[in-house]
Every structure is written in C-alpha cells, then in structure tokens.
C-alpha cells in the first residue's frame, strides 16, 4: 500500500511540474517574441504581444501606454540593434507570470549608437489563450 501511495504521489508531482514547465515555456516564448519584435522594430508584433492596459516603465522613470510603447518603435525613436537577455527567471501563478532578467542592448536611437544595461521585470497575463505583456519596469544596472 505504501509503495502504491508513493507512486501516485510521484506521478502527481511530475504531472504538476510538467504543467508548470509548459506554462513557463509559453511565457519564455512570448518573451523571445517580444525581444525579436523590439530588435526588428515590428510594431504589429509588438501590438499583438502587448495587453491593452500595458504600463511600460523605463529606467529613467517614463511610463508609456500600449499606444506610446508601440509608437516609439513605429516612429523609429527607439531603435534596438541587438538585445541580449540573461539570468532570466519565470514565475507563473495561474494566468499571471512574472519574468525577471538582465538586458544588455546596442541601440541606435536618433542615429546615435549607444548601449544600455538594465534589470527588467515584466508581468504577463494569459488573455484569450495567449500571453500578453501587462507591465514592465526597468532599472539601470
């Protein structure tokens, strides 16, 4: 009886861990799509990844709405040449995920080459079957 109980407990734990891992992978995929859309300056992809209620906080204190966030890429005001993410963690709770990582990027904002190094926290929400960026806050490293 003990072995059967132990086997069932292990099976339930592995099923729960796999379900969590699947959600974490979905969130990681959404983060990667966002990274790529920002480098490509793809305003349509950015719009599709962002929740309508997006609050996008920059390291300098500026906070943008979804329209403002997408608009900076559409206008070319924000131009990422490359973005590298590291030290990423993902924590999922039902339909909300918190992602933290370090961002190192090369920029060409307004034709001026530059670099940025930030710690980022994003909040994602599963809306209509897809993960959408709900909030973002950056701090300088």
Q: What is the pLDDT of residue 108?
A: 93
Tell me the average pLDDT across 101-120. Answer: 95
pTM equals 0.84
- Where are the domains positioned within the chain? 24-140
For the stretch 38-56, pLDDT in tens is 999 999 999 999 999 999 9
Q: What is the mean pLDDT of residues 64-72?
A: 97
Going by pLDDT thresholds of 50, 70 and 90, the confidence category of residue 3 is low
Q: Which residues contact 54 (CB under 8 A, 6 or more apart)?
A: 64, 65, 66, 69, 133, 134, 135, 136
Burial (CB count <10 Å: 0-12, 13-18, 19+), residue 82:
exposed
Beta strands in the chain (DSSP E): 50-57, 63-64, 80-93, 96-109, 112-127, 130-140
Share above pLDDT 90 across residues of the chain, in percent, rounded to a whole number = 79
pLDDT tops 50 at residue 10: no
Q: Is the domain covering 24-140 a CATH 3.10.450.50 domain?
A: yes
């Amino acid at each position: 009886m003990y072995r059967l109980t132990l086997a069932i407990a292990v099976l339930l734990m592995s099923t729960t861990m796999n379900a969590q891992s699947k959600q974490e992978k979905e969130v990681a995929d959404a983060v990667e799509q966002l990274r790529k859309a920002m480098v490509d300056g793809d305003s349509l992809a950015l719009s599709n990844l962002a929740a309508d209620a997006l609050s996008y906080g920059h390291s300098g204190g500026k906070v943008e709405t979804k329209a403002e966030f997408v608009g900076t890429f559409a206008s070319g005001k924000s131009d990422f040449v490359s973005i590298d993410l590291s030290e990423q963690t993902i924590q999922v709770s039902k339909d909300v995920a918190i992602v933290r990582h370090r961002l190192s990027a090369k920029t060409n904002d307004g034709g001026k080459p530059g670099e940025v190094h930030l710690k980022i926290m994003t909040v994602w929400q599963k809306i209509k079957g897809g993960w959408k960026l709900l909030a973002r806050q950056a701090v300088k490293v």
